[in-house]
């Protein structure tokens, strides 16, 4: 009995395979005079598909779009309150006149961060994710179309404050920058390794507070290297302008690379 369609004709074992073979419904040959209104199938569909495939494809499309326009893109990620927006404010002020920048702000709610960025004179779009805990590539594609980013050469995407979820979602960026502040503890990289593994740059922020907190910067560096020894590390405080210089210098160097 044909197990695939139940047509009563002798048949082989029903095997439906994907993606290499289009149809697994076996042929009965020309003598088998039977027809189906629609194919009925049962069995196993071998898929082996990456669950994040759609986001990854869209992220690659974003990457191509940015590359074509000569825009470098930074995906800025951290826990809430590590100082992403404050760092952006100072960074945008320092880059002004030299490198036209734009910002996509990701938050669950409110325009508060976008308003802070707008005050610096840089074009900005706010993405409110509602209940979402991260930005995805589709949100970035949409934001790029709606923002006044025509002259932008450096795009900052400030992700939703969250040290877990954004680590899984490629947005089409050139660099994934993760921040953590000295008030959060030097063991942060070990506690959230997925994020620190996914990044290529790490910023230890609020270093002006080092004298007041139990944060061992050597331990922090060791922990970072243990998780991801490819990380480029900056240590800075937005309260100490000179500490921002290596970071600013790196951003400026990026445009020609």
Partner 1 sequence: MHELTIAAEIADLVTENAMKEGVLLVTAVHIEVGAFSGVDVDSLAFALELSVKDTIMEKAVIQITRVSGEAECRACGTVFALEDLFMASCPGCGSTGFHLLSGRQLRLLSVEISS
By CB under 8 A, name the binding residues for partner 1.
Answer: 5-6, 16, 18, 38-55, 132-134, 136, 164-165, 167-169, 190, 193-194, 197, 226-227
CB of 8 to partner 1, least distance (A): 14
Query: Quick one: residue 8, left, alpha or beta (phi over 0 = left, psi -120 to 50 = alpha)?
Result: left
Cα dihedral 116, 122, 125, 127, rounded to 10, equals -50
Closer residue to partner 1 in complex, CB, 13/97? 13
Closer residue to partner 1 in complex, CB, 162/237? 162
CB of 14 to partner 1, least distance (A): 10
Closer residue to partner 1 in complex, CB, 100/132? 132
CB of 192 to partner 1, least distance (A): 10
Closer residue to partner 1 in complex, CB, 4/205? 4
CB of 186 to partner 1, least distance (A): 14
Q: Which residues contact 227 (CB under 8 A, 6 or more apart)?
A: 189, 190, 193, 196, 197
Per-residue burial over 212-229, b if 16 or more Cβ lie within 10 Å, else e, is eeebeeeebbebbeebbe
| Separation in Å, CA 56 to CA 23, 59, 150, 172 | 27, 5, 25, 8
CB of 163 to partner 1, least distance (A): 11
Closer residue to partner 1 in complex, CB, 123/161? 161
Q: Tell me how far apart the 2 most distant CA atoms of the chain are, in Å.
A: 87
């Amino acid at each position: 009995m044909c197990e695939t369609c139940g047509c009563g004709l002798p048949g082989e074992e029903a095997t439906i395979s994907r993606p290499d073979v289009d149809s697994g419904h076996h042929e009965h040959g020309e003598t088998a005079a039977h027809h189906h209104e629609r194919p009925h199938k049962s069995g196993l569909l071998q898929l082996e598909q990456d669950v994040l495939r759609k986001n990854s494809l869209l992220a690659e499309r974003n990457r191509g779009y940015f590359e074509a326009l000569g825009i470098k893109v930074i995906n800025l990620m951290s826990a809430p309150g590590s100082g992403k927006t404050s760092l952006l404010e100072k960074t945008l002020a320092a880059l002004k006149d030299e490198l036209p920048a734009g910002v996509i702000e990701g938050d669950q709610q409110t325009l508060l961060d976008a308003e802070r960025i707008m005050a610096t004179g840089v074009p900005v779009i706010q993405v409110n994710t509602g209940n979402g805990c991260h930005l995805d590539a589709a949100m970035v594609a949409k934001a790029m179309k709606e923002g006044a980013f025509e002259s932008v050469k450096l795009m900052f995407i400030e992700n939703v404050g969250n040290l877990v979820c954004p680590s899984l979602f490629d947005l089409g960026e050139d660099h994934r920058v993760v921040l953590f502040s000295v008030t959060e503890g030097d063991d942060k990289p070990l506690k959230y390794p997925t994020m620190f593994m996914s990044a290529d740059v790490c910023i230890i922020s609020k270093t002006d507070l080092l004298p007041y907190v139990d944060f061992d910067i050597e331990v922090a560096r060791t922990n970072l290297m243990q998780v991801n020894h490819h990380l480029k590390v900056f240590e800075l405080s937005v309260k100490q302008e000179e500490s921002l210089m290596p970071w600013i210098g790196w951003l400026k160097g990026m445009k020609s690379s």
